[in-house]
Structure 1
Amino acid sequence: MFKIMIVDDEWLVQEGIKVTLENHFDNIEIVGMVSSGREAIEMNAAKHPDIILMDIKMPGINGIEAIQTIRGRFSQTKFVIISAYEQFDYAKQAVELGVVDYILKPINQNKLVEVLNKAMDKILEEREQRSRLIKNREKLEKMMPVLEKGFIYSLLMHGNFKHEVKKYCDIMEIHNEDAYVMTLEIKDSEEAISIQGDALYKKIQDTIKYKCKCAVGPLIINRVTVVVFSGALSDEYDQRVEAVSLAESITASLEKSDVQVKIGVGACLKLERLRHSLEQASYALSKMATEAVLHHNDVMVSTSSDYSYMEVKDDQEAILLLVESGQIDKLREQLHVFFDKISRNFDEVSFRNVLMELIVMVLSTSYKHELSEAEVGYSTYISEFRRITSQNQLTSWSYRKIILVAETIQSSKTSHVSNVILKAKTYIDENFDKDIGLNDVSKEVSISPQYFSTIFKEELGLNFIEYLRNKRVEVAKELLRDKKFSVKEICYKVGYNDPNYFSRLFKKLVGVSPTEFK
């Protein structure tokens, strides 16, 4: 149903329009007929018509002024101008204001019906568009937790973070180029946190979301990672004060809900460098004693230590690269050096924190390589780590676990490559007589031609062309021994189109021509 208002200072015109509408439409309701711009403005506020048929020349507030006033408050209302011929310039001005159309007096019934149908179509189109927008917004709201967790997981697990940042910011229409990380740690036992579960996480998430524009990650053991989007202030100190104030506000609000947390805060950085802020937040958290909130830049680094935090991060990154690359011997050496450094330069609490951080990073790497629970045992690592009290035993345990992950990743890679090559060989052996190329085989095994070419050569010692050529020649030799086919026929049977080329190739590889082969 469409609500229509008629505005004209001539009673006969109003009645004529009313009769026409009632005779031609069964989906309209005439909500009012008034004779001035002022009355039109007042009735519009009360009735909210979808379409207004507006005369231009009226006493007091004219039609143009009334349209401007109404449109300022009700942008979705559609207007159709009614004007005498001599008011044509006014009508053109009204069209520029966004009216649907204009009708000249005396009013032609067919023209009036045509213009109203046009206005109704526009309204229906806009309604459908708004409905789609609402539905899309609802879908986006449902997807938001998934998007946020994917964003944070990518940050935590050293994935393709730049891609995740762009995708997340595009969807959320985030234009800030700067952000910082807060890491929240819940001051409660793992058992208590597990029992409270989703309700506890929802309470934390809602509290943080209410206070800032951010992405809230999942609850992992007893920690929640939060990325706060914040325009960089000109002064680092001001930025730090603002971040700490926000963190203190969050802890205070959660305390009122009986949730005790402490928060480590990283520096505000460009989005592509956000991992550094994550590392800083984790480091600040590891250095906290009685504080509820600590910013990385407020951490007092001991001058007696020759092993800085950034050097720790560099060594951890080097260890991860060795884990992924499968360089087991170098990894063993690097681990011994690393364990020695942290045992000499850190107290027991810091030692455990740094080692725990490395273990989590290694587990993240194994997860990225799709290792299974059976292969790695994700679910028991943290509890095993926490049960060990001796520093020496903890070092030995960590060493064994990290080497296990590295060897499993390498074994997984080798197995994957072997399966790919086996599938490729089968495909070549079954299709050697066809016009196949590198792209055909790489597509069959679902990897890029460049990578396939590399692993094929590494695994077999031959490139793709050499293997295919040798296969064809071996089959040709068998056919020549049978003496059932001519050289020309054999040439075609093994996938070559040029008998001369086939003969030259055969002689090059076998040492004799096909006709001389016995």
Structure 2
Amino acid sequence: MVNVLIVDDEQTEREGLELILTRHFDNLVIRQARNGRIAIEMTAKQKPDLVFMDIQMPGISGLEAIKQLHSIHSSAKFILVTAFATFEYAQQALSLGVQAYIVKPSKIAEIVKTVEGVLHQIKMEQQYTEENRKDQATLEKAMAVFETDVVTQLLFDHVHEVHLNQLVDLLDIPMTDETFVMSLLLPPDAAEWYPAVKEVVRETGSGWTGASNGRQVPIIVFRNGNYSFRHQAITLANKILRLRDASKADWFIGIGNVYEQTGKIKQSYQESLLATRNFQQPVHYQFYADLPALTLDLSSPSYKTYEQTFYEHLRHLQWDKLIAEIKTITEGLERENKPSIQAQKQLAELLWLISSILSDMGIPVELPVYPSQTASYKQLREETAYLLERMKYAQEDHSQQADGDSIDQIKHYIIDHAHEDLSLEIISKEAGLSPIYVSKLFKEKLGINYISFLTECRLEKAKKLMRDPEKSMKEISIEIGYHDPNYFSKVFKKAFHLSPTDYRKKTFSL
């Protein structure tokens, strides 16, 4: 529908023009105003697409009314209707951006032709606006996926440099030299608040929110040099925790240390997870730096060994080996005559590591927390066995697919859909696994990340399409899933050390 406003102090002129319009055009909503003042009031409320404006009217002239209407509704189109076809009026009309000029009296055919031209212009602009609106909605949706994708890659995988640069360019929030990670711990019934959390972080303009893994939501935060680290972290934490008040649930945020190198983001993430261990605190957030000294150094070889060993046992559902491993550690602590309270602390950190691995695999588990300080090793063994049994049941109940079947399923899905806008989140949903677990499977089974595999699939298809001389590089780029030919060229050159054009000439020109 096109909203039309006819402004003329002569009622017969208004009604005559409306009659012509209704007889020759469909989808018009026509209103009338007898002077410029009323036209200004109506425009402020109804935002007409097309205004027919008489020049000579009592009070506000037509040209002055157009000036004011422009300031109220800049996209409106104007057709001047007047009996005074002077050069001066025409010159003023052009300066005001008037689309057309109708001289009284005019033949109906001339009026219709003039209106047709302006309505066509309005229609084209409306279509363009609607397409832009749809594109913007699609981009916003895609950017939300890109954001979770980038966070997952930075925290759990090696990132394809070209791919990461493109995603960072699309996101409005720039990376800074210093970053830290916050881990939001949500209760099982508060997952519906995840979009609201993302919106809060986005509004601050200082962070990216990752995919929800079980009850945990990782947030990469970029340091703002205008504030201290603690001030920035607490301010963001409080903004997120205000949502907790509305949900009436217990939320908790762990905050890792600041690191200057991108490669250290995973370290900050692990610290943030450990900082959520003591989640029953009145302030509902905890800095890793404020925790009592840990028995395990996150960057030590021994910790990495524990992490890899536990992951292998959990991936293959080898709970008997995992339980035996924890039992051996407990016996070793007892032989060393470590106080049971100190042993409990070390075992709590190991149990927390196991729960984090399960969470990364997409398996929701209750947090392994000892109910109280143990008084003896007998009590410690019993409570540890109980916590392990709960986590074992959670994994068995989750009914995780076999790894071999999973990776084959994922590979075939990527091959079949490589031309689409695939993301780690989309692939993970298709496989019924967590994004983090998919990332780990790729790295372990294939030795590459999913982006590298997706890129290989696309480039192999591109090479086949290059055999057709009728296809342009732009067409090939779009057909294999790259909307930006320049980005396609960068990826191709990085892989084959030749631009797509040079590769085609060298390979298929013979």
Interval of TM-score (by shorter of Structure 1 and Structure 2):
0.5 to 0.7
User: Shift of residue 264 of structure 1?
Assistant: 0.7
Structure 1 residues 33, 263: closer, same or farther in 2, change over 3 A? Answer: closer
Structure 1 residues 268, 125: closer, same or farther in 2, change over 3 A? Answer: farther
| 2:276 alignment partner, SS class | helix
Structure 1 residues 13, 167: closer, same or farther in 2, change over 3 A? Answer: same
Structure 1 residues 95, 409: closer, same or farther in 2, change over 3 A? Answer: closer
User: Shift of residue 108 of structure 1?
Assistant: 5.2
Structure 2 CA distance, aligned partners of 1:136 and 1:411? Answer: 37
> Are 2:298 and 1:299 equivalent residues in the alignment?
no
Letter matched to residue 345 of structure 2: V
Structure 1 residues 26, 211: closer, same or farther in 2, change over 3 A? Answer: closer
Higher helix share: 1
Q: Which of 269, 272, 280 lines up with 1:281 in the alignment?
A: 272
Structure 1 residues 294, 160: closer, same or farther in 2, change over 3 A? Answer: same
Q: Is the 8 A contact 1:53 1:80 kept in 2?
A: yes
Q: Is the 8 A contact 1:269 1:277 kept in 2?
A: yes
Q: Is the 8 A contact 2:80 2:102 kept in 1?
A: yes
Letter matched to residue 7 of structure 2: V
Structure 2 CA distance, aligned partners of 1:78 and 1:271? Answer: 55
Structure with more contact order per residue of length (Cα contacts < 8 Å, sep ≥ 6): 2
**Corresponding residue for 2:234?**
244
Structure 2 CA distance, aligned partners of 1:148 and 1:256? Answer: 26
Q: Is the 8 A contact 1:286 1:350 kept in 2?
A: no
**Corresponding residue for 1:185?**
185
Q: Is the 8 A contact 1:244 1:265 kept in 2?
A: no
Letter matched to residue 160 of structure 1: V
- 1:145-179 deviation line (CA, Å, top 9, x unaligned): 655543443233224276665555555x5234457
Letter matched to residue 208 of structure 1: V
Q: TM-score, normalised by structure 1?
A: 0.52
Q: Is the 8 A contact 2:191 2:215 kept in 1?
A: no
Q: Which of 349, 355, 358 lines up with 1:353 in the alignment?
A: 349
Q: TM-score, normalised by structure 2?
A: 0.53
Structure 1 residues 52, 268: closer, same or farther in 2, change over 3 A? Answer: farther
| 1:220 alignment partner, SS class | coil
**Corresponding residue for 1:235?**
227
**Corresponding residue for 2:461?**
none
> Are 2:173 and 1:175 equivalent residues in the alignment?
yes
Unaligned regions of 5+ residues in structure 1, if any?
188-192, 325-338, 368-377, 394-404, 415-447, 453-518
Q: Is the 8 A contact 2:274 2:288 kept in 1?
A: no
- 1:389-441 deviation line (CA, Å, top 9, x unaligned): 49xx9xxxxxxxxxxx9xx9999569xxxxxxxxxxxxxxxxxxxxxxxxxxx
Letter matched to residue 232 of structure 1: N
Structure 2 CA distance, aligned partners of 1:314 and 1:104? Answer: 90
Letter matched to residue 184 of structure 1: L
User: Shift of residue 232 of structure 1?
Assistant: 1.5
Alpha-carbon RMSD: 5.5
Q: Is the 8 A contact 1:54 1:79 kept in 2?
A: yes
The count of aligned residue pairs is 359
- 1:64-108 deviation line (CA, Å, top 9, x unaligned): 332232233333422122356665445444444443333455545
User: Shift of residue 52 of structure 1?
Assistant: 0.6
**Corresponding residue for 1:78?**
77
User: Shift of residue 53 of structure 1?
Assistant: 1.0
Structure 1 residues 147, 271: closer, same or farther in 2, change over 3 A? Answer: farther
Structure 1 residues 96, 157: closer, same or farther in 2, change over 3 A? Answer: farther
Structure 2 CA distance, aligned partners of 1:137 and 1:7? Answer: 36
> Are 2:252 and 1:262 equivalent residues in the alignment?
yes
Structure 2 CA distance, aligned partners of 1:184 and 1:77? Answer: 48
Please identify, of 140-149 and 212-221, the stretch whose mean Cα deviation from structure 2 is larger: 140-149
> Are 2:219 and 1:223 equivalent residues in the alignment?
no
**Corresponding residue for 2:113?**
114
Pick the structure with greater CA Rg: 1
User: Shift of residue 40 of structure 1?
Assistant: 1.7
User: Shift of residue 122 of structure 1?
Assistant: 2.4
- 1:167-220 deviation line (CA, Å, top 9, x unaligned): 55555x523445753212346xxxxx4xx5xxx311x31552464426544443
Letter matched to residue 152 of structure 2: Y
Structure 2 CA distance, aligned partners of 1:410 and 1:151? Answer: 16
**Corresponding residue for 1:511?**
none
Structure 2 CA distance, aligned partners of 1:47 and 1:121? Answer: 21
- 1:307-343 deviation line (CA, Å, top 9, x unaligned): 865x4399749998xx99xxxxxxxxxxxxxx9xxx9
Structure 1 residues 135, 380: closer, same or farther in 2, change over 3 A? Answer: closer
